[in-house]
Copies of this chain bind each other. A is one copy, B any other.
Amino acid sequence: MIRETVMEDLIRLYHGAGGVEMRELLTKIFFKRLEDKLKRYKDGLGIDHPDDGAAIKISEDLYMVISTDSYTVKPIFFPGGDIGKLAVSGSLNDVLMMGAKPIALMDSIIVEEGFSTQDLVKIVDSMFEILREENIPLIGGDFKVMPRGEIDKIVINTVGIGLANKLIIDSIKPGDKIIVSDYVGDHGAVIMLYRFGLDKDPDIISKSKLRSDVKPLTKLMIPLIDKYIDHIHAARDPTRGGLAGVLNEWVSDTELGIIVDEEEIPVRESVKKYSNMLGIEPLYLASEGVAILSVDPSVAEEILRFVRSLGFANARIIGEVVEEERFKGRVILRTSVGGLRILEPPRGEIVPRIC
């Protein structure tokens, strides 16, 4: 999947967008240049595995899962959340998507000189609110201040720590059904509206009722892990690159393809409308509180019912994994009129600092 291209002289925004260009850059500067033995700890999962976290085997059936993510979202306060809620939820979700139950969190905050202490307290409160609800201890952290103008307001890194008896290692299997737990793209759509200045129109956010979907997915994933871990072949939260990004990563470097029914993908009318207005495909928009699962077909309907019973009423089976030469390594969208089109991996940058 990775084309051999000359490395560009300068880092561009799209190198951080979670798409094709980022994967190319990271492959060149990290994955290819590090010997295999330096890519994972013994029989854990490491950086050679294209996932959000790493796993360290600590006993025969116990892994410690650790994820790290830097959050740079702009605006830092948005409908549905703020950078603090995003950072904590995001790291908990990364841990959950690997099949682990979160046990602790660490943070590292960099603030711009002159930042409002009150805003910092608001952000830390959002972090605490989630930690309290989820009963997750914040066990350590770092705090730095950079001079005015050297960083835009605040950046938060969070480290999610969890324990798993079995890992979900994102290896889809032929026949698997693809389940989406909720509407996709809400977070990306909200940030996009702000970044395009559409929040200035007093009606557009309130009328559309658009809010970021940012939330921890413990209530969904812990019951799923307990009951169906053996049947979940892949799980991801579609952040940068959206649903299209996750599905394309899953098929990349495999003999498999994924066919999804466009009509079955839950996208809010308002997200569709503003995406169309801005010429953006909503399937590339980030979600921050949605899970995509690839599950064994024998229990797919049962899992779907279970997911809905957990309060995720908009969950859907949106497609399946196929083993056909013509679809190999591709994600195919079956459109409402029955046509097939390729859903390309994300490329370029819709808006920077989405998460």
Contact = CB atoms under 8 A, between A and B. Distances in A.
Interface string A60-82: 00001011111010100000000
Contacts of A103: 41, 56
Contacts of A161: 41, 56, 66
B138 A34 contact: yes
Instruction: Report which residue of A47, A66, A139 has the largest number of chain B beta carbons within 10 angstroms of its beta carbon.
Output: A139
A223 B117 CA distance: 44
B145 A16 contact: yes
Interface size bracket, A side: 35 or more
Given A16-B145, A70-B142, A70-B144, A117 B9 contact: yes
B66 A29 contact: no
Contacts of A13: 113, 145, 147
A110 B155 contact: yes
A151 interface: yes
Contact of A137 (B12, B40, B141, B149): B40
Interface of A: 7-17, 22, 25-26, 29-30, 33-35, 37-41, 44-47, 51-54, 56, 58-59, 64, 66-70, 72, 74, 103-104, 106-118, 120-121, 124, 128, 131-132, 135-147, 149-152, 155, 157, 159, 161, 352-353
